[in-house]
């Protein structure tokens, strides 16, 4: 069996981590042959809660789970880590403006970027879940100059999974029969869930989702809005934000990064833009990617029509604005 890898989860006492930790410890993310040491980072007031999480991890009695370290110190949490799930973030409180939320989180992700730079492995794979995820990932990478920019990603996999499930329901097929739906842009309500390139496997063969559904109004408007607002719909019903599905998506994202995508399939990840599809460079933008040998490549040359292009512009403008706001905070 392989040597254990060190994996950090921030926000480890929170609700997403509660579902995510089990997946990592059980081998769903890094595989059934890979033992893991868990580094659990949270803030000092949460240490008691974290003790309870550690007890539960022990009680899972899982053979792949080796050391577990609960801590409030980034220097300890990030030491030698091969993978980082940055889940913890300052939540939006009542009366808080988007700007204030961004300011609080920029500080958190600056500190964590510096800690990654100093203590983590140089090939560490970083997945930012905490919101605003795309801009947090950008800030984090900025403060970790010794780690390649492509090692910093933001999660849009939950949006992808939601979109895939919605298309499968509409087509009345099993969810794994639908492939290659894309989430473009920001993990926010400006994201563009795009079914134009998605396929569905039917008994008659592989078909375009758009021709099977054959309803432009639904595909271009109703479906797009449904996915953009799905997070809010879950909060309205559950009185808490998505946690089980967010944790599953974080596991999916890291597993595909670790083991690669299947032939002919792509997944959506927020990655530092290289200018593909005319998206401005140096923002973390969700693109379709294929992954091999732990390296991703943005899928190129997909046809983008005018309506799609205008949706890409809206979400990339929002990300440029977030970057400007974040830089203003950091200059202060």
Active site residues: 187
246 touching ligand NAX, by CB under 6 A: yes
CA–CA separation, 135 vs 110, rounded Å? 11
288 touching ligand NAX, by CB under 6 A: no
Query: Dihedral through CA 252, CA 82, CA 42, CA 231, nearest 10?
Result: -20
CA–CA separation, 121 vs 140, rounded Å? 15
Residue nearest to ligand NAX (CB): 14
Closer residue to ligand NAX in complex, CB, 35/270: 270
**Residue whose structure tokens are 């997945």:** 127
CA–CA separation, 145 vs 296, rounded Å? 20
Residue 42 labelled as part of a binding site: yes
Closer residue to ligand NAX in complex, CB, 35/88: 88
Residues in contact with ligand NAX, total (CB under 6 A)?
28
Query: Dihedral through CA 61, CA 67, CA 72, CA 73, nearest 10?
Result: -170
CA–CA separation, 166 vs 226, rounded Å? 9
Closer residue to ligand NAX in complex, CB, 200/271: 271
Residue 136: partners with Cβ closer than 8 Å, 6 or more residues away: 86, 89, 105, 106, 108, 109, 128, 130, 154
User: Which residues, numbered 129-188, are part of the site for ligand NAX (CB under 6 A)?
Assistant: 129-131, 133, 155, 158, 187
User: Which residues, numbered 36-55, are part of the site for ligand NAX (CB under 6 A)?
Assistant: 41-43, 46
Binding site, annotated residues for NAD(+): 42, 105, 129-131
Q: Residues interacting with ligand NAX, by CB under 6 A?
A: 10-11, 13-17, 41-43, 46, 87-91, 108, 129-131, 133, 155, 158, 187, 241-243, 246
Binding site, annotated residues for substrate: 92, 98, 131, 162
């Amino acid at each position: 069996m392989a040597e254990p890898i060190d994996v950090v989860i921030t926000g480890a006492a929170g609700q997403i981590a509660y579902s995510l930790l089990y997946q990592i410890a059980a081998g769903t993310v890094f595989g059934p042959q890979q033992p893991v040491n868990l580094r659990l980072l949270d803030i000092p007031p949460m240490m008691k809660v974290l003790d309870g999480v550690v007890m539960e991890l022990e009680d899972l009695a899982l053979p792949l789970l080796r050391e577990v370290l609960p801590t409030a110190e980034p220097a300890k949490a990030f030491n030698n880590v091969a993978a980082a799930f940055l889940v913890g973030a300052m939540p939006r409180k009542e009366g808080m403006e988007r700007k204030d939320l961004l300011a609080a989180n920029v500080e958190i992700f600056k500190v964590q970027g510096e800690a990654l730079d100093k203590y983590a492995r140089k090939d560490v794979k970083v997945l930012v879940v905490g919101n605003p995820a795309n801009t947090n990932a950008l800030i984090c990478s900025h403060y970790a100059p010794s780690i390649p920019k492509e090692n910093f990603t933001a999660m849009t996999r939950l949006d992808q999974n939601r979109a895939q499930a919605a298309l499968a329901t509409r087509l009345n097929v099993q969810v794994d029969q639908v492939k290659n739906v894309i989430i473009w842009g920001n993990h926010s309500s400006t994201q563009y869930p795009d079914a134009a390139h998605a396929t569905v496997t039917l008994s008659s063969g592989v078909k375009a989702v758009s021709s099977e559904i054959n309803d432009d109004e639904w595909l271009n408007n109703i479906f797009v809005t449904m996915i953009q607002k799905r997070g809010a719909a879950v909060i309205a019903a559950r009185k808490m934000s998505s946690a089980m599905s967010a944790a599953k998506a974080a596991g999916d994202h890291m597993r595909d990064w670790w083991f690669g995508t299947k032939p002919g399939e792509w997944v959506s990840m927020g990655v530092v833009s290289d200018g593909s599809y005319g998206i401005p460079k140096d923002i973390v933008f969700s693109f379709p990617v294929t992954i091999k040998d732990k390296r991703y490549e943005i899928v190129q040359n997909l046809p983008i029509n005018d309506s799609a292009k205008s949706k890409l512009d809206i979400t990339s403008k929002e990300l440029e604005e977030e970057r400007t706001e974040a830089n203003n905070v950091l200059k202060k």
